[in-house]
Structure 1
Amino acid sequence: MPKKIVIIGAVALGPKAACRARRLDPEAEITVVDRDSIISYGGCGIPYYVSGDIAEVKELCSTVYHAVRDPEFFRQYKRVNVLTRTEAISIDRKAKTVLIKSLETGKESELEYDSLVFATGSTPFVPPVPGHDLQGVFTVSNLHKATLIKDKIAAGEIDNAVVVGGGAIGLEMAEALTALWGIKTTVVEMCDHVLPQAFGPGLARMVENHLRENDVDVMSSTRLLEISGDADGRVAGVKTDKGEIPCQLVIFGVGARPNTQIGQEAGLAVGPWGGLLVDARMRTSDPSIYAGGDCCEVRNLITGGSSYLPLGSLANRQGRVIGTNVAGGNERFEGAVGTFCLKAFELGVAKAGLTLKQARDAGFDAEEGMVVMADRAHFFPGNELMFMSLIADRKTRRVLGIEAVGPQGDAVKARVDAVAVLLPHKPDLDDISNLEVGYAPPYASAMDIVNAAGNALKNIMDGFSDPIDPVTFLEMLEDENNVFLDVRAEKVSRKMQAIYGDRWICLPQDDLPARWEELPRDKRLHVFCNTGLRSYESQLFLREKGFTDLKNIAGGYATARLLKPGIDEK
């Protein structure tokens, strides 16, 4: 008898699993059910549809050959039966049946299965603040919501918007509202910087300032208290612990919760994040039932623990594994390191692995090293500075994470991807220092920034470099007792001296061999340059001359000016 495969959910993982299973098992009876009428679309493209980068919603539902992936497409071309506007009500694991209900007619029926797949996704979280149910409050959950948002904007109903949450969806929606439509947009983030789960404060604050440069207000360390409405029940503004913001649109982007209710009711095991637990073959605690995508948890390949990573890229890869296995194969998905990338106006943003805080919270004795370097050969036209942080464990020197920001997003993503593929294999700093990557002046330096990041962190762990991170440096500027040694050219260092007076010492690196004796020995010297390289070399030189209280300011002026625009202006 043909194998009966039932898949609940038809957005990303469900169709991928169905198509893979069909290719491997031409005789299987494959049925996919979904509550929605629109299926198999690129949900991660929603912000770009709202922004206008993607002109029509059907483009998110089409193949590369411009065929619309609707139920008829799956029936005719994939020989997969898709039941839209159909809800899975319950599962009888003993009988191996799924009770379904038509949302159009109310009729209930049963589907038998040999293998069942959960591709139920997640639901955006909406905090239960007063006013969360007013007209004009949205989540970015599906194409229907996206179309409603875009229609309201196109009709001229929105002058001001508030995005609650500074994660990826929040920032993408802030750009979408601002870039094309010119809507005055404010991002409200409860944590002390945007992208709190992906980045440390240094690079994240670069992103924040870039958003502000593009007319997006960012309010970090801010709590939403209430959404206020007008007499007609429409959004009129939000109240925060830092004041009120008038608006006609509120978009929540504060995370998602896995859709696992019927799975839990059927007795399937869930993890600490509320997602279904799966093994490496993507099987739940019932070996006949599989799960993947946003509704499940996966093994974190760095910490070894369970993690929740609702990413479209993982859903598609897991869908192929599940499709293979329900058709009788034996593929494995061992877990993930959490690789992530984002476009924020003109900045490319990418990371993989753990942030410094996450690494320390996981029990590692973690250290961070930062480098600033051209993404191409410094002599090649069009090069741009890239900012990169590498995180590793002091005891084992195992690399735990990487973060990068730069104007040329493809270059940023390529560097992070190069390290991401190594992280499951527990690379150490030598592996990164000597990582073999392609070189040509139009694309990279002979010593790539990835290699430089490994070298910088090795220098810290070997005791050659004693850095201060750029966020701490900015805080130290306010303390009159701190003394800084600027080893850049005098014409640029004098600007800082004009602001900070005698505690800002201007002494170019070229002059250090002749003038080092002029420097005070009774105070700590915080050495400063443009990117951190010359200050590191100067630190080494002064240490040879007997100076013992020295700190190198990581990232130098190039980083400081992005974290504090106008730092050298009175």
Structure 2
Amino acid sequence: MRKKIIVIGGSAAGPKAAAKARRMDEFAEVTLFQKGADLSMASCGYPYFVGGFFDDRNKLLCTPTGVVRDPNFYWDAKEIVAKVNTEVTRINKQDKTVEFTDVVTGEKGTQEYDKLIIATGAKANLPPVKGVGLKGISTLQSMQDADYLRKIRDEGKVKKAVVVGGGLIGIETVEALHLAGIELTMVELLPQLLTFLDWKMAKLVENYLKTKANVITKNGVSEFLGKDGKLVGVKLQNGTELPCELAVIAIGVKPNIDLARDAGIKIGEMGGIVVDKYMQTSDEDIYAAGDCCEINNIITGKNVLAPYGDLANLEGRVAGENVIAGNKVTFPGTIQTGVCKLFDYGIGITGLSETKAKEAGFDFVKVVNASPDKPGFMDGKLLVTKLLADSKTGKILGAQCLGPGDVSKQLAIWATAIKGKLTVEDMVNADLPYAPPFSLAIDHSVASAHILQNKMKGVFTGISCMDVKEKLDAGADMYLLDVRGADEYEETRLGIGETLIPLGVLRKRLNELPKDKEKEIVAFCKISLRGYEAAVMLKAHGYTNVKVLEGGIMAWPFEKEK
């Protein structure tokens, strides 16, 4: 008897699940329902279509060989019935059927299933404020949103826009609209952008973004201002009014669970469908995958929402196999690896931030490493990495990385280390590929592990930029030692009362340092490699309270003197 498989949702997880089910069983009846007109959309590519990185929207819907994934493709290539513009309106668990409506014709129908996969994705959050329905307000959650914003770009009539929300989608939207020549303001209610990063790392991103757009934090939207039904401005909570013709709302998403909830399927504390490691819901014949689910965080053991396209595909693959073969394969969960592009910067995280590590109760050590991704003679570019490890076991807990260098490579290394439960000691001698076009002789990731190893051994005593700033603001008596060259000092400096003594002459000028050898000395340079060498030297000469400014000047998130 042929198995009847129904998949609800045609974006990422759904098509992957349907295709996997077909590959597992050539004779199963597989039906894919999609409310919208398009299938298998590469939604993470929307900002780049809007930004003009490519012009053919079909590239968001194509196979690697350029074939559009439409209903004809699914039937011809996979013998999957793909019903677009068809909304599933009800799941009947008792008689194992779904009810559906053709959104174009209004025609209704019912179809039976043996196994069902829910892949209904997520929907954009909207602020509960006046004017949110005005023309000129959009999200970037759907293909239709992408088409709308791309049309705005191509017409070139919009001069000012506001992006509401400083998360991943907001950041990518700013870049896309900036490339269209639109004057932009980003508004974020919280004190920082990209809340998956720790504050200092996020501040470095904010400082960079301010070179391209206006950025307002700690201020939300109180009202969208309109005239004749069209957006003319955004009013902030502090009363500021920002004139604009376009506003893009990017304040996150929430799981689209209405169908599942109405069918009596268990919903978790995070607001997503509860699934086990087999992607099976509370009903043994119903599975779920993608952004509508909450899944296990491998490090903390707690459920999280992780609306990422790569995870949706992986989850869909597991669900698609299990509805055919029984519960044979598993999806273990996520370490919440994410990365985004912001003009010349890459920005991302894998594992836990310091904030999340504290919330989870970990006792951890941390360092910041600012150094190039390649040698200078190969035009190496800066990377700033913040690395966390368990203080007792040395197991890697998380890494944040940003800068114009190869951020994605660094995150991939650390994601693999975390998933493999590797320690700092495992990473200090990691055998990574080396050639000058690709990396330093000691890769940035390995150098980060070296610094953390030195810190754990007590050889390196670091202090964060945040701690230095807080101490200075509190009136602490610190000796700040800049060991760069005079030319570097003239070009830029921290302006916090530092003393310049270049590393090359430090031994000859030790007499200029404080006579009290217990006084707190903070040594630094551009990236604090020379700062570390200075600290080792000073300790050898009897100074007992010497620290290194982690990441040096390049990791300093506050205003500098120029």
Q: State the 1:350 CA deviation.
A: 2.5
**Alignment correspondent of 2:375:** 377
Which amino acid is 2:169 matched to?
A: I
Question: Taking structure 1 as reference, are residues 451 and 88 closer, same or farther at Cα in structure 2, changes over 3 Å only?
Answer: same
The secondary structure found in structure 1 opposite 2:91 is strand
2:234 equivalent to 1:238: yes
Contact 1:157 1:248 in 2 (8 A): no
Which amino acid is 2:102 matched to?
A: S
Q: State the 1:417 CA deviation.
A: 0.4
Out of 349, 352, 357, the residue aligned to residue 351 of structure 1 is 349
CA distance in 2, matches of 1:417, 1:162: 33
Q: State the 1:479 CA deviation.
A: 6.8
Q: State the 1:381 CA deviation.
A: 2.2
Out of 544, 548, 553, the residue aligned to residue 549 of structure 2 is 553
CA distance in 1, matches of 2:207, 2:431: 34
Contact 1:482 1:524 in 2 (8 A): yes
Q: State the 1:157 CA deviation.
A: 3.6
Which amino acid is 2:411 matched to?
A: V
Contact 2:367 2:452 in 1 (8 A): yes
Question: Taking structure 1 as reference, are residues 533 and 498 closer, same or farther at Cα in structure 2, changes over 3 Å only?
Answer: closer
**Alignment correspondent of 1:309:** 306
Percent identity, please. Answer: 36
Out of 462, 473, 476, the residue aligned to residue 467 of structure 1 is 462
**Alignment correspondent of 2:186:** 187
**Alignment correspondent of 1:293:** 290
Which amino acid is 2:538 matched to?
A: L
2:430 equivalent to 1:431: no
CA distance in 2, matches of 1:162, 1:482: 42
Deviations 1:364-417 (A, max 9, x none): 123320112221134x32111211110122233221101112313xx2211210
**Alignment correspondent of 1:251:** 248
CA distance in 2, matches of 1:271, 1:167: 24
CA distance in 2, matches of 1:498, 1:396: 36
2:498 equivalent to 1:514: no
Out of 222, 227, 236, the residue aligned to residue 225 of structure 1 is 222
Question: Taking structure 1 as reference, are residues 513 and 152 closer, same or farther at Cα in structure 2, changes over 3 Å only?
Answer: closer
Question: Taking structure 1 as reference, are residues 493 and 3 closer, same or farther at Cα in structure 2, changes over 3 Å only?
Answer: same
Out of 260, 269, 283, the residue aligned to residue 272 of structure 1 is 269
Deviations 1:285-334 (A, max 9, x none): 11211111100011101111111100001111112212211221522111
Contact 1:123 1:259 in 2 (8 A): yes
Q: State the 1:564 CA deviation.
A: 4.5
Question: Taking structure 1 as reference, are residues 97 and 460 closer, same or farther at Cα in structure 2, changes over 3 Å only?
Answer: same
The secondary structure found in structure 2 opposite 1:32 is strand
Q: State the 1:140 CA deviation.
A: 0.9
Question: What is the number of equivalent residue pairs in this alignment?
Answer: 557
Which amino acid is 1:238 matched to?
A: V
Question: Taking structure 1 as reference, are residues 174 and 497 closer, same or farther at Cα in structure 2, changes over 3 Å only?
Answer: closer
Describe how 1:48-447 pairs up with structure 2 within 5 A: 48-179=48-179, 181-197=180-196, 199-213=197-211, 215-230=212-227, 232-242=228-238, 243-328=240-325, 330-378=328-376, 380-408=377-405, 411-447=406-442
CA distance in 2, matches of 1:403, 1:459: 19
CA distance in 2, matches of 1:558, 1:71: 52
Q: State the 1:458 CA deviation.
A: 2.2
CA distance in 2, matches of 1:393, 1:524: 27
User: Which consecutive residues of structure 2, in runs of 5 or more, have no partner in the other structure?
Assistant: none
**Alignment correspondent of 1:540:** 536
CA distance in 2, matches of 1:235, 1:361: 41
Q: State the 1:201 CA deviation.
A: 2.1
Which amino acid is 1:166 matched to?
A: G
Deviations 1:328-355 (A, max 9, x none): 1522111111111111101122221111
CA distance in 1, matches of 2:86, 2:492: 66
CA distance in 2, matches of 1:40, 1:497: 51
Contact 2:396 2:417 in 1 (8 A): no
Which amino acid is 1:202 matched to?
A: K
Contact 2:50 2:153 in 1 (8 A): no
Contact 1:298 1:335 in 2 (8 A): yes
What TM-score do the two structures reach when normalised by structure 1?
0.93
Describe how 1:21-36 pairs up with structure 2 within 5 A: 21-36=21-36
CA distance in 2, matches of 1:15, 1:217: 39
CA distance in 1, matches of 2:525, 2:162: 39
Which amino acid is 2:95 matched to?
A: A
The secondary structure found in structure 2 opposite 1:352 is strand
Question: Taking structure 1 as reference, are residues 475 and 420 closer, same or farther at Cα in structure 2, changes over 3 Å only?
Answer: same
Contact 2:523 2:535 in 1 (8 A): yes
Contact 2:494 2:553 in 1 (8 A): no
CA distance in 2, matches of 1:444, 1:258: 40
Question: Taking structure 1 as reference, are residues 157 and 496 closer, same or farther at Cα in structure 2, changes over 3 Å only?
Answer: closer
CA distance in 1, matches of 2:27, 2:251: 43
CA distance in 2, matches of 1:447, 1:155: 49
User: Which consecutive residues of structure 1, in runs of 5 or more, have no partner in the other structure?
Assistant: none
2:488 equivalent to 1:488: no
